[in-house]
Every structure is written in C-alpha cells, then in structure tokens.
Amino acid sequence: MSSGRYLLHHGLLLPTVAHTKESLKYAQDFHVEDTDVFVVTYPKSGTTWMQEIIPLVLNGGDLTPVQTIPNWDRVPWLEETRTALVVDHLTSPRALATHLPYQLMPASFFSSKAKVIYVTRNPKDVMVSSYHFHKMASFLDDPGTFEEFMDKFLKGKVLFGKWTDHVKSWRHADLGDRILHITYEEMNQDLHGALRRFSDFLGCNLSEEAIDGIAHQCCFNNMRKNSMSNYSLVPQNIMDSSKSPFLRKGISGDWKNHFSPEQEAQFSSVIAAEMEGESLSFPWDLECVCV
C-alpha cells in the first residue's frame, strides 16, 4: 500500500484525496437535524445513483439540482472534506451520503429523528465494480490481479473495510422505522417500485407522473450522459474514464464475467461464514457460477 494515499480511521482504510483527520472530526461532531436523510452505502453499492434519486424525490421531481450541482455537492459525503464547504448551501430536508459503519456515525445522529436509506449490493458485483474503479482512479493503488484484489477484499484491506462488517453494522442498527433497507438489485429490477418506497418512506407523496419523470432521469443511460453525475468533471489525470467509466455497466451479475468457479466458491464460503447466524436473505443468494 502506498503511504500518503490512505489513512486509517478506527481501523478502516480511507483515501486521503477525500478524507483528512479534520474532516473525520467534523463528521463526528456534525449536528444532525431531525429532517436529515442519510444515504448509506458500502462503496460501489449505488451511492451515485442515490445521489441522483433522493434530491429528485425530496423535490417532487424538479430536475434543477441534478442538472446544475455535481453529485458530490448535491448529496455530500458526511466524512469528506467538501461537506464543511457546502453544507450551508443545502436546503432542508438535507440529503447526505456516508460510507461510515453505524457505530462511527456522529454522536448527534443517534438521538435525532434523521432517516436512513441503506443500499446493499451483491458483494461480488461490489468487488468487480471496485476493481475497475481502482484501475481508473489515480489516487488509489493499482488493484493488482483480480485474484490479489479478491484476497484484499475478503480480508477487508480495502476502502471502508469488510463488506460483511459494514452490512452487519447497519442491519443491527437500533433505528426502528427510521431506516429503510433496499438492494441495488431491487432498484435495478423495478426502479418505479423502489421510487414509490422512497417516496412513502420520506413522506413525499409523489404522483405517478413525478415517479415516471424521476425514473427516466435516473436510468443508467441518462445518468451516464449527465455531466453533474458521471464524474466527467473530474480531470482525466485523477479519474481516467478511458480505462473504465465511473458509470461502468450498471448491471447485476457482472461478477459472472470475472470470477472463476474456484474464486466464486472461495468468495461465497468466506462471506457465508461471516454472515452465519444473521438470518438475512438477499436477492442474489440463490445465484451460483455456471460452468
């Protein structure tokens, strides 16, 4: 691991391009408002998609924010350096994103009424997406071979630590009806249905017409064209989309194009062992590699 590119925060690896000790202290001391909405994800699980969706849902489908504000300022990451710079420009209800595990949320979050939407994605597709991201992002170490990256992923020696720890921390969150769990796969399969769930959860009462408009704006092909959301504003020497676009494929199951049967078996057995006793079921549980 290259020194200087990463820092450790409570044992979690974070990229210094976006996080400093000051930004992490800022996140810890952040004053959460009851009306805040947090989009929570393990990296590569659909964060950018939710940074498009949630402002639209909260604004009744008004396209202005997603057409004029880059996603990182529209729904800033709580733990990143930019939040302190843009938070005063957010209108209420504020939408914020975070990759933090539950226990590292700001102290004021736990006593607030803020809502959370937690998006989980098949960890195999998360790993594939992350692998390609490491190839195009110059501020991250080269991922090495797929085999080497899988080893790091399963050991949690990747951004924000182990996928299993992150998912479990938020599944055990004591938040009652303040939290909505959804999967990337459900969103991909039925975006309209997901939007209705978000609208109900956030009390937005969106019309079917508004939901149609939001679904149109948020579909992969349209988001890919939106310079406020496709990371094309980031200079190529920082994110090189010729190596891999940020909005890369946007599908479920791309892992089947990357894993050998042996890798799939090893990956599944490590994840299953770490999720044992959780009694969680996910849409991808019945999939296996076809040989």
Ligand X SMILES: Nc1ncnc2c1ncn2[C@@H]1O[C@H](COP(=O)(O)OS(=O)(=O)O)[C@@H](OP(=O)(O)O)[C@H]1O
- Residues acting as catalytic residues: 99
Here's the x/- map for ligand X, 48-77, by CB under 6 A: it reads as: xx----------------------------
Residue with structure tokens 């929570």? 40
Interacting residue with ligand X among 83, 129, 164, 226 (CB under 6 A):
129
Task: Tell me how many residues contact ligand X (CB under 6 A).
Answer: 21
> Which of these, 50, 52, 23, lies nearest to 38 by C-alpha position?
50
* Smaller CB separation from ligand X, 41 or 164: 41
Stretch that binds ligand X, among 40-48, 56-64, 265-273, 274-282 (CB under 6 A): 40-48
Q: In this chain, which of 23, 41, 83, 183 binds ligand X, going by CB under 6 A?
A: 41
Q: Applying CB under 6 A, does 226 fall inside the site for ligand X?
A: no
Is position 135 an interface residue for ligand X (rule: CB under 6 A)? Answer: no
The only residue of 101, 152, 250, 267 in contact with ligand X, by rule CB under 6 A: 250
- Residue 246 CB, shortest distance to ligand X, in Å, is 7
In whole angstroms, give the CA distance from residue 250 to residue 139.
23
CB of 115 to ligand X, least distance (A): 19
Q: Contact positions toward ligand X, by CB under 6 A?
A: 41, 43-49, 125, 129, 132, 188, 218-220, 223, 247-250, 254
